[in-house]
Amino acid sequence: MKWISCSSYEDLSRRAADMLLHTIREDPHAVVGLPTGRTPVGMYERVVHECSREYHCFRDVHTFNLDEYIGISRGHPGSYFSYMKKHLFDHVDISPDNAHIPDGTAADLGLECARYEDAIRRAGGLQVTFLGLGRNGHIGFNEPGTPFASRTRVVDLHESTRLANADLFGGGQVPTRAITMGIATILESRAIVLLAGGSGKEDAIKRLQSRIIDESFPASVLWRHDNVTVLAAV
Ligand code: GLP
Protein backbone atom coordinates (compact mmCIF):
# COMPACT_ATOMS: atom_id res chain seq x y z
CA MET A 1 0.00 0.00 0.00
CA LYS A 2 1.39 3.36 -1.00
CA TRP A 3 0.41 5.89 1.65
CA ILE A 4 0.41 9.58 0.68
CA SER A 5 -0.28 12.12 3.42
CA CYS A 6 -1.91 15.14 1.80
CA SER A 7 -1.42 18.59 3.24
CA SER A 8 -5.05 19.63 2.72
CA TYR A 9 -8.32 18.62 1.10
CA GLU A 10 -7.26 20.62 -1.98
CA ASP A 11 -4.02 18.67 -2.15
CA LEU A 12 -5.93 15.38 -1.91
CA SER A 13 -8.35 16.49 -4.64
CA ARG A 14 -5.55 17.61 -6.93
CA ARG A 15 -3.62 14.36 -6.54
CA ALA A 16 -6.75 12.24 -7.04
CA ALA A 17 -7.74 14.24 -10.13
CA ASP A 18 -4.23 13.92 -11.56
CA MET A 19 -4.39 10.14 -11.12
CA LEU A 20 -7.79 9.93 -12.83
CA LEU A 21 -6.68 12.23 -15.66
CA HIS A 22 -3.43 10.29 -16.08
CA THR A 23 -5.43 7.05 -16.39
CA ILE A 24 -7.71 8.35 -19.15
CA ARG A 25 -4.95 10.18 -21.02
CA GLU A 26 -2.78 7.05 -21.08
CA ASP A 27 -5.72 4.93 -22.18
CA PRO A 28 -8.67 6.83 -23.68
CA HIS A 29 -10.69 3.56 -23.43
CA ALA A 30 -9.98 3.13 -19.72
CA VAL A 31 -12.50 1.39 -17.46
CA VAL A 32 -12.68 3.26 -14.18
CA GLY A 33 -14.55 2.63 -10.92
CA LEU A 34 -15.95 5.81 -9.37
CA PRO A 35 -17.10 6.85 -5.89
CA THR A 36 -19.66 9.29 -4.54
CA GLY A 37 -19.87 11.12 -1.22
CA ARG A 38 -18.44 14.46 -0.15
CA THR A 39 -14.77 13.49 -0.40
CA PRO A 40 -14.52 13.10 -4.21
CA VAL A 41 -16.33 16.37 -5.01
CA GLY A 42 -13.03 18.31 -5.24
CA MET A 43 -11.52 15.62 -7.48
CA TYR A 44 -14.47 15.84 -9.88
CA GLU A 45 -14.32 19.65 -9.90
CA ARG A 46 -10.72 19.56 -10.99
CA VAL A 47 -11.27 16.82 -13.56
CA VAL A 48 -14.15 18.81 -15.10
CA HIS A 49 -12.00 21.94 -15.19
CA GLU A 50 -9.12 20.15 -16.92
CA CYS A 51 -11.41 18.35 -19.36
CA SER A 52 -13.05 21.59 -20.44
CA ARG A 53 -9.68 22.35 -22.07
CA GLU A 54 -9.26 18.96 -23.70
CA TYR A 55 -11.00 17.48 -26.64
CA HIS A 56 -12.71 14.09 -26.16
CA CYS A 57 -11.53 13.66 -22.59
CA PHE A 58 -14.12 11.02 -21.66
CA ARG A 59 -15.48 10.06 -25.10
CA ASP A 60 -14.38 6.41 -24.97
CA VAL A 61 -13.95 6.02 -21.20
CA HIS A 62 -16.18 3.54 -19.35
CA THR A 63 -17.12 4.28 -15.75
CA PHE A 64 -18.74 2.04 -13.16
CA ASN A 65 -20.04 3.59 -9.97
CA LEU A 66 -19.63 1.69 -6.76
CA ASP A 67 -23.17 1.91 -5.50
CA GLU A 68 -26.69 3.34 -5.68
CA TYR A 69 -29.63 3.66 -3.31
CA ILE A 70 -32.74 1.53 -3.67
CA GLY A 71 -36.22 3.01 -3.34
CA ILE A 72 -35.70 6.44 -4.87
CA SER A 73 -35.97 7.48 -8.49
CA ARG A 74 -32.83 8.18 -10.52
CA GLY A 75 -33.90 11.83 -10.71
CA HIS A 76 -34.15 12.17 -6.91
CA PRO A 77 -31.56 14.74 -5.75
CA GLY A 78 -30.13 12.24 -3.25
CA SER A 79 -29.51 9.50 -5.83
CA TYR A 80 -25.99 8.77 -6.95
CA PHE A 81 -27.24 9.04 -10.52
CA SER A 82 -28.08 12.72 -9.81
CA TYR A 83 -24.79 13.16 -7.95
CA MET A 84 -22.76 11.88 -10.90
CA LYS A 85 -24.65 14.03 -13.38
CA LYS A 86 -24.15 17.10 -11.22
CA HIS A 87 -20.47 16.58 -10.45
CA LEU A 88 -19.16 14.90 -13.61
CA PHE A 89 -21.35 13.48 -16.35
CA ASP A 90 -23.16 16.70 -17.30
CA HIS A 91 -19.83 18.46 -17.82
CA VAL A 92 -17.76 15.98 -19.83
CA ASP A 93 -18.29 14.16 -23.12
CA ILE A 94 -18.90 10.71 -21.64
CA SER A 95 -21.40 8.62 -23.59
CA PRO A 96 -24.44 7.76 -21.44
CA ASP A 97 -24.00 4.15 -22.59
CA ASN A 98 -20.55 4.06 -21.02
CA ALA A 99 -21.50 5.67 -17.69
CA HIS A 100 -22.70 2.78 -15.54
CA ILE A 101 -24.49 3.10 -12.21
CA PRO A 102 -26.42 0.23 -10.59
CA ASP A 103 -30.15 0.70 -11.16
CA GLY A 104 -31.76 0.85 -7.73
CA THR A 105 -35.19 1.05 -9.38
CA ALA A 106 -34.88 -2.27 -11.26
CA ALA A 107 -37.88 -4.58 -10.87
CA ASP A 108 -35.59 -7.54 -10.24
CA LEU A 109 -32.74 -6.30 -8.07
CA GLY A 110 -30.92 -9.64 -8.00
CA LEU A 111 -30.86 -9.67 -11.77
CA GLU A 112 -29.63 -6.08 -11.82
CA CYS A 113 -26.67 -7.01 -9.58
CA ALA A 114 -25.75 -9.93 -11.86
CA ARG A 115 -26.12 -7.68 -14.92
CA TYR A 116 -23.79 -5.10 -13.34
CA GLU A 117 -21.08 -7.66 -12.63
CA ASP A 118 -21.44 -8.92 -16.17
CA ALA A 119 -21.15 -5.40 -17.62
CA ILE A 120 -17.88 -4.85 -15.72
CA ARG A 121 -16.53 -8.15 -17.05
CA ARG A 122 -17.61 -7.40 -20.62
CA ALA A 123 -15.90 -4.00 -20.46
CA GLY A 124 -12.66 -5.83 -19.66
CA GLY A 125 -12.64 -5.35 -15.87
CA LEU A 126 -11.87 -2.30 -13.77
CA GLN A 127 -8.49 -0.74 -14.41
CA VAL A 128 -8.46 1.80 -11.61
CA THR A 129 -11.11 2.18 -8.93
CA PHE A 130 -11.37 5.27 -6.75
CA LEU A 131 -12.94 4.70 -3.34
CA GLY A 132 -14.15 6.89 -0.50
CA LEU A 133 -13.93 5.74 3.11
CA GLY A 134 -16.95 5.50 5.39
CA ARG A 135 -16.46 6.56 9.00
CA ASN A 136 -17.05 2.95 10.03
CA GLY A 137 -14.58 1.73 7.40
CA HIS A 138 -17.13 0.92 4.72
CA ILE A 139 -16.08 0.94 1.08
CA GLY A 140 -18.85 1.35 -1.46
CA PHE A 141 -21.75 0.35 0.77
CA ASN A 142 -19.96 -2.71 2.14
CA GLU A 143 -20.64 -2.25 5.82
CA PRO A 144 -18.63 -3.79 8.70
CA GLY A 145 -19.05 -7.56 8.76
CA THR A 146 -19.30 -7.90 4.98
CA PRO A 147 -17.53 -11.06 3.80
CA PHE A 148 -14.42 -10.22 1.80
CA ALA A 149 -15.68 -12.65 -0.88
CA SER A 150 -18.85 -10.60 -1.48
CA ARG A 151 -19.96 -9.61 -5.00
CA THR A 152 -22.38 -6.94 -6.23
CA ARG A 153 -25.60 -7.30 -4.25
CA VAL A 154 -28.43 -5.63 -2.31
CA VAL A 155 -27.46 -4.46 1.19
CA ASP A 156 -29.15 -2.93 4.24
CA LEU A 157 -27.53 0.32 5.30
CA HIS A 158 -26.32 0.82 8.85
CA GLU A 159 -28.12 3.46 10.85
CA SER A 160 -24.82 5.37 11.26
CA THR A 161 -24.32 5.42 7.49
CA ARG A 162 -27.86 6.71 6.93
CA LEU A 163 -27.23 9.41 9.51
CA ALA A 164 -23.87 10.37 7.96
CA ASN A 165 -25.59 10.85 4.59
CA ALA A 166 -28.78 12.50 5.90
CA ASP A 167 -27.86 16.05 4.89
CA LEU A 168 -27.71 14.92 1.26
CA PHE A 169 -31.43 14.17 1.57
CA GLY A 170 -32.31 17.63 2.86
CA GLY A 171 -33.98 16.33 5.99
CA GLY A 172 -35.94 13.68 4.05
CA GLN A 173 -35.78 9.94 4.66
CA VAL A 174 -32.47 8.30 3.69
CA PRO A 175 -33.15 4.99 1.92
CA THR A 176 -32.59 1.85 3.98
CA ARG A 177 -31.14 -0.28 1.19
CA ALA A 178 -28.66 0.03 -1.66
CA ILE A 179 -26.93 -1.93 -4.39
CA THR A 180 -23.16 -2.02 -3.96
CA MET A 181 -20.24 -3.59 -5.76
CA GLY A 182 -18.95 -6.34 -3.51
CA ILE A 183 -15.56 -6.36 -1.83
CA ALA A 184 -14.29 -9.12 -4.14
CA THR A 185 -15.57 -7.12 -7.13
CA ILE A 186 -13.63 -4.05 -5.97
CA LEU A 187 -10.48 -6.07 -5.27
CA GLU A 188 -10.45 -7.32 -8.86
CA SER A 189 -9.70 -3.76 -9.99
CA ARG A 190 -6.11 -3.69 -11.23
CA ALA A 191 -5.37 -0.57 -9.17
CA ILE A 192 -7.23 1.13 -6.32
CA VAL A 193 -7.03 4.68 -5.01
CA LEU A 194 -8.59 5.33 -1.60
CA LEU A 195 -9.57 8.92 -0.87
CA ALA A 196 -9.45 9.10 2.91
CA GLY A 197 -10.38 12.59 3.91
CA GLY A 198 -12.86 14.72 5.73
CA SER A 199 -13.97 15.36 9.27
CA GLY A 200 -14.81 12.35 11.38
CA LYS A 201 -12.39 10.11 9.46
CA GLU A 202 -9.50 10.27 11.93
CA ASP A 203 -10.39 7.00 13.67
CA ALA A 204 -11.03 5.17 10.42
CA ILE A 205 -7.66 6.29 9.03
CA LYS A 206 -5.87 5.23 12.23
CA ARG A 207 -7.55 1.85 12.13
CA LEU A 208 -6.52 1.38 8.51
CA GLN A 209 -2.94 2.31 9.40
CA SER A 210 -2.87 -0.43 12.06
CA ARG A 211 -2.68 -2.98 9.20
CA ILE A 212 -5.02 -5.35 11.02
CA ILE A 213 -7.09 -7.06 8.35
CA ASP A 214 -10.55 -7.89 9.62
CA GLU A 215 -14.06 -8.06 8.18
CA SER A 216 -15.25 -5.76 10.98
CA PHE A 217 -13.37 -3.00 9.12
CA PRO A 218 -13.98 -3.45 5.37
CA ALA A 219 -11.27 -1.04 4.14
CA SER A 220 -8.62 -3.18 5.87
CA VAL A 221 -8.94 -5.70 3.02
CA LEU A 222 -7.04 -3.22 0.84
CA TRP A 223 -3.83 -4.43 2.50
CA ARG A 224 -4.32 -7.66 0.54
CA HIS A 225 -4.20 -5.87 -2.83
CA ASP A 226 -0.84 -5.19 -4.44
CA ASN A 227 -1.65 -1.86 -6.08
CA VAL A 228 -3.37 0.50 -3.65
CA THR A 229 -2.65 4.17 -3.14
CA VAL A 230 -4.15 5.91 -0.10
CA LEU A 231 -4.52 9.67 -0.29
CA ALA A 232 -5.05 10.69 3.33
CA ALA A 233 -6.04 14.14 4.59
CA VAL A 234 -7.93 14.92 7.79
C1 GLP B 1 -21.25 6.83 1.17
C2 GLP B 1 -20.82 6.12 -0.10
C3 GLP B 1 -19.42 5.65 0.01
C4 GLP B 1 -18.55 6.82 0.45
C5 GLP B 1 -18.94 7.21 1.85
C6 GLP B 1 -18.10 8.32 2.46
O7 GLP B 1 -21.70 5.96 2.15
N8 GLP B 1 -21.64 5.04 -0.46
O9 GLP B 1 -18.99 5.13 -1.24
O10 GLP B 1 -17.21 6.46 0.43
O11 GLP B 1 -20.28 7.65 1.77
O12 GLP B 1 -18.63 9.53 2.12
P13 GLP B 1 -18.04 10.94 2.42
O14 GLP B 1 -16.97 11.16 1.43
O15 GLP B 1 -19.18 11.86 2.23
O16 GLP B 1 -17.53 10.93 3.81
- Rounded to the nearest whole angstrom, what is the distance from the C-alpha of residue 137 to the centroid of ligand 1? 10
CB of 141 shorter than 6 A to ligand 1: yes
- Rounded to the nearest whole angstrom, what is the distance from the C-alpha of residue 187 to the centroid of ligand 1? 18
Q: How far is CA 110 from the centre of its chain?
A: 21
- Specify the pLDDT at position 167: 87
- Specify the pLDDT at position 71: 95
**pTM, entire model:** 0.97
Interior angle at CA 229, CA 223 and CA 234, nearest 5: 100
In terms of DSSP H, where are the helices of the chain?
A: 9-26, 41-51, 80-87, 109-122, 159-164, 183-187, 202-209
CB of 13 shorter than 6 A to ligand 1: no
pLDDT digits (tens, 9 = 90+) for 147-167: 999 999 999 999 999 998 898
- Specify the pLDDT at position 171: 76
CB of 152 shorter than 6 A to ligand 1: no
Nearest CA to 61 among 47, 49, 73, 75? 47
Residue ranges in the chain modelled with pLDDT below 50:
none
- Rounded to the nearest whole angstrom, what is the distance from the C-alpha of residue 55 to the centroid of ligand 1? 31
- Rounded to the nearest whole angstrom, what is the distance from the C-alpha of residue 139 to the centroid of ligand 1? 8
- Specify the pLDDT at position 56: 84
Q: Whose CA is nearest to atom 6 of ligand 1?
A: 134
- Specify the pLDDT at position 18: 98
CB of 137 shorter than 6 A to ligand 1: no
- Specify the pLDDT at position 162: 94
Of ligand 1's atoms, which has the minimum distance to the CA of residue 140? 9
The answer to whether 84 touches 36, Cβ cutoff 8 Å, is yes
- Specify the pLDDT at position 172: 81
Show the beta-strand stretches assigned E in 77-144. Answer: 99-100, 128-132
pLDDT digits (tens, 9 = 90+) for 48-91: 999 988 878 999 999 999 999 999 999 999 999 999 999 999 99
